[in-house]
């Protein structure tokens, strides 16, 4: 059985509220920081966290947008994502702040942290790895791949990206560019590309956005989750 609690924290004057999902014994364990889609903290990400707890890990569902935006309308959230993406340096600081919050939790084994994100959150996971952060791995599920205009750092984290080949937001040339970037940064990296799969494939409600090329794909969702768990087992045994 898992237990959940709100983690309230402040970043540069903004009030954030992440959600920690852990086991009831509160023992330190390897922990996955889950960075949500543009819609912020939802039941979808908390559900992924509960699945991780069943496998012996903890999860921190990270709030990047602010408590006031929990449950906000889609247009509002897209505007907030645009705001955060417009300053990738500030976004990096925000991500480093979330990592510090995770490391401050008693239930987190500090040297055993993985950061995984979905869509915008996938880009955030990559950006944290690009900062040279001391994390075990960064994982992107149908994430955005464009690199920030910031000084390049050596990437010490393992990087795994799960990508729909027909994703209209990340065409093939951007996939190749990311592979070249990760190679130059010295990362141990993998990119899993799924044919005939678009953006948002892990989200059963993706089609409700009514955006061309954005749809749930049950097989790709299962394949990517299985590979993700294999990575955690590789890292933590």
pLDDT at 2: 78
pLDDT value of position 40: 95
Each residue's pLDDT tens digit, 184-224: 999 999 999 999 999 999 999 888 877 889 999 999 999 99
pLDDT recorded at residue 93: 98
Average pLDDT on 78-98 reads 97
Task: List Cα–Cα distances, 168 to 143, 156, 180, 198, 223, in angstroms.
Answer: 12, 29, 20, 7, 21
**Confidence class for position 1, pLDDT limits 50, 70, 90:** low
User: pLDDT-based confidence at 114, cuts 50/70/90?
Assistant: very high
Closest CA to 202 of 94, 78, 117: 117
Count other Cβ atoms within 10 Å, centred on residue 226.
Answer: 10
Predicted confidence at residue 204, as pLDDT, reads: 94
Look up the CATH superfamily of 2-236.
Answer: Alpha/Beta hydrolase fold, catalytic domain (3.40.50.1820)
Give mean pLDDT, residues 88-94.
98
Contacts of 222 (CB under 8 A, 6+ apart): none
Residue 237: pLDDT above 90? Answer: no
pLDDT of residue 172 exceeding 90: yes
pLDDT tens sequence across 6-42: 999 999 999 999 999 999 898 899 999 999 999 999 9
Q: Which of 38, 35, 7, 36 is nearest to 21 (CA)?
A: 7
Query: What is the pTM for the complete model shown?
Result: 0.96
Q: Grade residue 160 by pLDDT with cuts at 50, 70 and 90.
A: very high
Q: Do 157 and 187 meet the contact criterion of CB atoms below 8 Å apart?
A: yes
CB 98 within 8 A of CB 18: yes
- Whether the CB-CB separation of 34 and 62 falls below 8 Å is answered with yes
Percent of the chain with pLDDT over 90: 92
State yes or no: pLDDT of 166 exceeds 90.
Answer: yes
What are the tens digits of pLDDT across the range 44-70? 999 999 999 999 999 999 999 999 999
């Amino acid at each position: 059985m898992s237990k959940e609690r709100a983690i309230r924290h402040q970043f540069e004057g903004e009030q954030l509220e992440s959600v920690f999902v852990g086991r009831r014994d509160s023992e330190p364990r390897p922990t996955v920081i889950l960075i949500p889609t543009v819609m912020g903290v939802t039941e979808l990400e908390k559900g992924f966290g509960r699945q991780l707890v069943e496998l012996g890990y903890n999860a921190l569902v990270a709030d990047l947008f602010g408590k006031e935006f929990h449950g906000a309308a889609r247009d509002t959230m897209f505007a907030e994502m645009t705001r955060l993406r417009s300053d990738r340096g500030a976004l990096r600081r925000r991500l480093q702040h979330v990592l510090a919050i995770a490391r401050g939790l008693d239930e987190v084994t500090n040297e055993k942290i993985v950061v995984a994100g979905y869509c915008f959150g996938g880009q955030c996971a990559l950006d944290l790895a690009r900062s040279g952060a001391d994390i075990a791995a960064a994982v992107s599920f149908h994430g955005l791949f464009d690199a920030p205009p910031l000084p390049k750092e050596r990437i010490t984290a393992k990087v795994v990206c799960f990508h729909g080949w027909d994703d209209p937001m990340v065409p093939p040339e951007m996939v190749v560019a990311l592979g070249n970037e990760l190679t130059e940064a010295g990362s141990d990296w993998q990119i899993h590309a799924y044919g005939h799969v678009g953006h948002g494939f892990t989200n059963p409600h993706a089609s409700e956005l009514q955006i061309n090329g954005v749809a749930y794909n049950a097989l790709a969702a299962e394949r990517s989750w299985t590979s993700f768990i294999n990575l955690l087992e590789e890292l933590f045994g």
